[in-house]
Chain A
Amino acid sequence: MKCESCNKKLATVHLTEIVENEKKERHFCEDCAQNVTNHFPKAPSPSDILTSLINQVSPEIREMSKTTCPVCGLSYLEFRSQGRLGCPMDYNVFKKGLLPLIERMHGSSQHVGKVPPNAGAEIIKKNEMIQLRKELNEAVEKEDYERAAELRDKIYELSGNVEDGD
């Protein structure tokens, strides 16, 4: 059966209209059906499907997809397909996208371990504070108030010299 509108293509859309109790069957090809009625939504293209999938799974990819590191030239999409970063600066440039990933991998996004011996005094102190606060929380959870008081004093002592971390 050919499309009743263009009379060229095969009719693949079959509509049944009821106007004033009178039933009428109409047959269109896909293109003409779009024009005749707005009941028939256009089939999404493969790229539309992909985009909506990406948005569902990792909304950060769309947001970050245009970001490229000015230092090493790596784009966020390249990172997501290879899984490897290009330079230390990427951790800053891609921070928004990386944070949820890092949270998922490690269950945390704040370093509390070792600091390089030649890192600035500021960083060393900041890190010590983070470690102490973490220990304080744990002590409170365990209801070890003696240890908690000790830790609190240490934190007071240090905090005179350092700004709060982010």
Chain B
Amino acid sequence: MEIRDLTDKTGEWLRGTGKESDIVISSRIRLARNITGYPFLSRSNLKQRKEIESLLRNTIIESSIAQDISYVNLNNATSVDKLFLVERHLISKEHAAGEGERGVAFEKSETISLMINEEDHLRIQVIHSGFELNDTWETTDEIDNILGKRLNFAFSARFGYLTACPTNVGTGMRVSVMLHLPALGMTKHIEKVFNAVGKLGLVVRGLYGEGTKVSGDLYQISNQFALGKSEKEIISIIESVIPRITSYERMARKALVLESKDQLEDRIWRSYGMLKAARMITSEEILQLLSQVRMGVNIGLIDNIEIQTLNELFVLTLPGHLQKLQGCELDSTQRNIIRASYVRKRLEGL
């Protein structure tokens, strides 16, 4: 499969299905693993990097983790292709920006992605749509077991799975739940959420993980600690927090409807109008517009757009995607024009 073949579809995690999918966009789990007998990547030479890459690539392909696995070698991928894969959440920003032999294996539905030579030798990632941490963990655990039988993962009884950065040591696990919280953002109550989850050892990040800013009212809640608790305990901590945040968001939406219905409706309909009429839209603006319209669908104000369409537009209108769709590199003005026309086309067809 070529990257080109992915441009007119999206991963299953954007389907808008699963529990609490009005607010919870996706549930993601990743595990960091290194193989014994090799240094971590910062200390590996070119030859070792290459050996690690081919050992992992071959093991993944031979162990038939899933049907229809594609492999992209990032060392000779174009910068647009790498950006596209980041936007898709198939690789991380760091993986795209890295150097040397590295790549990503992912299956057709884009639920499973295996990053080779990112910060660690291997990162196993599974994403599901909605609030589905248990299913996500089951798949992750299964893949880890299959690969763990064929490879020797660096492990110690004391510290657990050994990783390049000591923040990941132990389970090597990071759980992230992506939430759409426009009402908490609008009413500024989001700060309270940040404080509350911070006390539980959790952290809130933007759309593309560490160090990225929040846009489109999309937040990722994830664990900061990876050691001293089992995988299931870490999951259950996050699992107990999410419903509180979603019900808080629902309360904030109800309060907005009660207290400032006219302003709220005006804002949502204006955003909808902009999406259907504008000729140029920046990447920052479209996230705000889509966020408003998404809430409009959630509160029953707009009933002729599927949540899936909006979820997909969050990704399909990103710079890498537009350039892939157009088949050439575009400057930001060209992107703004194509973005606007792409959205109009998607919304007119309704």
Contacts and interface: CB of A to CB of B under 8 A. Distances in A.
A114 B171 contact: yes
B342 interface: no
Interface residues of A, number: 37
Given A86-B42, A98-B166, A107 B225 contact: yes
Give the dominant DSSP class at B's interface: loop
B228 A107 contact: yes
User: What are the 9 A-B residue pairs with the smallest beta carbon separation, nearest first?
Assistant: A108-B228, A111-B160, A86-B43, A88-B154, A106-B227, A87-B39, A113-B171, A106-B225, A113-B230
B166 A101 contact: yes
Contact of A114 (B34, B144, B224): B144
A109 B231 CA distance: 15
B230 A112 contact: yes
B82 to A, nearest CB: 22
Nearest to B146: A117
Contacts, number: 116
Interface residues of B, number: 43
B153 A116 contact: yes
19 contacts: A73-B43, A84-B40, A84-B119, A86-B43, A98-B166, A102-B227, A105-B166, A108-B229, A110-B227, A110-B228, A111-B159, A112-B230, A113-B170, A113-B230, A114-B160, A114-B171, A117-B148, A117-B149, A131-B230
A82 B145 CA distance: 32
A69 B220 CA distance: 37
B247 interface: no
Given A86-B39, A86-B42, A112-B230, 9 more contacts: A88-B40, A102-B166, A106-B226, A108-B229, A111-B158, A111-B227, A114-B160, A116-B155, A126-B157
Nearest to A115: B155
